[in-house]
Amino acid sequence: MKKDIYLYDTTLRDGEQSEGISFSLQDKIRIAQKLDEFGLDYIEGGWPGSNPKAIRFFHRMKVVELKKARLSAFGSTCRAKSKASLDSNIAALIEADTPVVTIFGKTWDLHVRDALRISLDENVNIIHDSIAYLKSKGKEVIYDAEHFFDGYKSNPDYALKTILVAAEAGADTIVLCDTNGGTMSTEIPTIMEQVQRVIGSPLGIHAHNDAGLAVSNSLIAINYGANHVQGTINGFGERCGNADLIQIIPSLVLKYKKRCIPRVQLRKLTEVSHFVNEVANLIPNPRHPYVGRYVFSHKGGVHVSAVLRNPQTYEHIKPELVGNKRHILVSELSGKSNIQSKAEELGIDLSTASEETRGLLADIKEMEDEGYQFEAAEGSFEVLLKKALGKHKTFFDLQGFRVIIEKRGPKEPCLTEATIKLLINGELKHTASDGDGPVNALDRALRKALSESYPELRNIQLSDFKVRVIDPKEGTAAKVRVLIETSDGKNEWGTVGVSENIIEASWRAIVDSVEYTLLKNEERRFKRRKTDKGSS
């Protein structure tokens, strides 16, 4: 595919400079392979002159086949008073043995004087010498003009001179960097036009997000002649981060009709975003444009009714184009359409259950008035729905439970034990379990009592636990909402409970989680029996 725009990823170098992110060597290799599979043109692996991990990465990547992307090593121009052919950083770039080398040089006269403390002419010579030497070694050279926009605003003649020299030295692409991230989007067009009057080389854009404009500035630069864009997955990067390729790529393909990645590959966008978050041990932002869980969520009854008739009424693209999906939320703002749509998602036909639907909607509005929220508690909603339709089965009856918390000294940890009595199929079960806290102990005691009759519960565990005080003005007597996430290793579901007592609220959420699991297993067993009967 002939391309209009080339995509350059620097997650493994610039992205790793983000606070709280540190990739292992294996992490970096996995991400590189994922980005190559996705279809990016360039993957910047790191700065081999700055740390041993980067050197090991490039060594390992020599035996890792990239099918589409070109691997780039990153570094700086040679040091002052040194020739490029004798500079250790330049030597490390060559030893990395990558087809592409990206180097940055000073463009802003302030940096030349105050950071490098050399003359403006000497800086120009350094840029030329470094690029020319790397070109003599057969490298594709991408030149990052660091602080270009600030440099241009300070001394336009000098900033232009530095990139003109880079072009004369043979740089394949010259990338204009907004390194401090403070350039306004309205400034980009004029500067891009001035650059193109001076230089005919391919131009790129590298924007940081300190003013919240990195994506906007990147797209504007592309509309004014840049055919190379640098960024990171999910906008990772130092300070406020880099331009977010997860937002830039679909905007280029779907909004500007630019050829940069095959349209079919765009369906992997959400997967790639979540994969990199997972490797970085970060929770995906649910409001992340294009790929966040909430991005195509609809809550208001008017919105839902319109979206079900025509999604364009409240969606700027089809969620499937970027590998996302639509979510219809159920809340006190819901209408009948929300309930019906949500039921369809769950495979439940409400077409003949209008009375039950109205009753369920009334119940939900009343429960949300008490403090319940079902947006992130789809497990509780499904249990509630099946109760309203008479499709709920009672798996056990609680006879009572007790939670004991004991502290034996000021420096000793709290000890927690829960005991529980259940009636299961007419048989009384009385069990106990300790735990890390009262909720954990209660959850373990419940599943211990149920596991003999329902062994599938051994495979589930609480993966998250959140408590929200609903009305803080009530102080310690305030109601709390407990949201529990449960996982079976493959799927996750949320359940919710509300009470003035945090243990009671937690119990309600735990029971919904267990009942949701058991109901799902009943459905699977029923389908298997039906399939077996049909095949026989």
Concatenate the DSSP letters of all residues of 333-377 into one string. T--HHHHHHHHHHTT---TT-HHHHHHHHHHHHHHHHHT---TT-
C-alpha to C-alpha distance for 151 and 148, rounded to whole angstroms: 5
Active site residue 303: yes
Quote the pLDDT of residue 393: 78
Q: pLDDT truncated to tens, each residue of the chain (536 aa)?
A: 678 999 999 999 999 999 889 898 989 999 999 999 999 999 999 999 778 889 999 999 999 999 999 999 999 999 988 899 999 999 999 999 999 999 999 999 999 999 889 999 999 999 999 999 999 999 999 999 999 999 999 999 999 999 999 999 999 999 999 999 999 999 999 999 999 999 999 999 999 999 999 999 999 999 999 999 999 999 999 999 999 999 999 999 999 999 999 999 999 999 999 899 888 888 789 899 999 988 887 766 666 667 767 878 878 899 999 998 877 655 444 445 555 555 555 555 555 556 666 666 666 667 766 777 666 677 887 887 777 777 777 888 999 999 999 988 888 888 999 999 999 988 999 999 998 889 889 999 998 999 888 888 888 888 888 887 876 555 555 788 888 888 887 778 888 888 888 899 999 999 989 888 888 887 777 666 666 666 55
Q: Using the Cα atoms of residue 277, residue 282, residue 286 and residue 288 in order, give the sign of their dihedral.
A: negative
Q: What share of the chain is helix, strand, coil (3-state, %, to 5)?
A: 45, 20, 35
What's the confidence (pLDDT) of residue 371? 72
CB atoms within 10 A of CB 496: 27
Distances, alpha carbon 157 to alpha carbons 108, 127, 171, 202, 261, in Å? 11, 16, 20, 20, 36
Could you please state the CATH topology (level 3) that the domain comprising 459-536 is classified under.
Double Stranded RNA Binding Domain (3.30.160)
SS (H, E, C) 433-499: EEECCHHHHHHHHHHHHHCCCCHHHHHCEEEEEEEEECCHHHHHHCCEEEEEEEECCCCEEEEEEEE
Superfamily of domain 6-259: Aldolase class I (3.20.20.70)
pLDDT score at 329 = 57
Given this model, what pLDDT does residue 172 score? 98
Buried b (16+ CB within 10 A) or exposed e, 208-235: bbbbebbbbbbbbbbebebbbbbbbbbb
Q: Where exactly does CATH 3.20.20.70 map onto the chain? A: 6-259
Supply φ then ψ for residue 389, to 5 degrees: -90, 0
From 235, 234, 316, select the one nearest 270 (Cα to Cα).
234
Using an 8 Å Cβ cutoff, are 47 and 14 in contact?
Answer: no
Compute the distance between CA of residue 17 and CA of residue 417 in angstroms, rounded to an integer: 44
Angstrom distances, CA of residue 225 to CA of 132, 183, 197, 205, 206: 25, 18, 11, 10, 14
Q: Which amino acid is at 291?
A: V
**CATH 3.30.160.340 residue ranges for the chain:** 459-536
Task: Tell me, yes or no, if the pTM score tops 0.75.
Answer: no
422: β partners: 398, 429
Whole-number Å distance between alpha carbons of 520 and 517: 5
Catalytic residue among 128, 208, 228, 303: 303
**CA dist., res. 204 & res. 140, Å (int):** 14
Residue 331 confidence (pLDDT) = 46
Q: What are phi and psi of 367, to 5 degrees?
A: -65, -40
18/480 Cα distance (integer angstroms): 35
